Amino acid sequence: MSHQAPSITEWGSTSDGSMKIAWEVDSFFPDSEAPDDVLVDLDGIEYRDLGSAAREIEIPPKDLKPFEGHVLIVGVTFKWSGSPADTKVSSVSILVGGSVAPSGTGPSKPAVTIKSATAQTLKHPNQIILGWSSYSYNDGNILWGPISNPRIWSHSIKPETDKYSGEWTTDRPLASRAIYSFTVQVKNSLTTNVWVETTVAAKAAVNFHSVRQFLNASGVKGPSLRTAIGHGGSIRQTMGI
3-state secondary structure of 166: strand
Q: Are residues 41 and 62 in the same domain?
A: yes
Cα end-to-end span (Å), the chain: 24
- What average pLDDT score do residues 47-71 get? 92
Q: Are residues 90 and 134 in the same domain?
A: no
Whether the CB-CB separation of 127 and 202 falls below 8 Å is answered with no
d(CA 176, CA 171): 15
Q: Are residues 121 and 199 in the same domain?
A: yes
> Which tens digit of pLDDT belongs to each residue from 154-212?
999 999 877 889 999 999 989 998 999 999 999 998 888 888 888 889 999 989 888 87
Q: Are residues 172 and 190 in the same domain?
A: yes
Domains in the chain, number: 3
> Which tens digit of pLDDT belongs to each residue from 179-193?
999 999 999 988 888
Q: The domain containing residue 234 runs over which residues?
A: 210-241
d(CA 173, CA 185): 23
Q: Are residues 124 and 168 in the same domain?
A: yes
CATH number at residue 142: 2.60.40.10
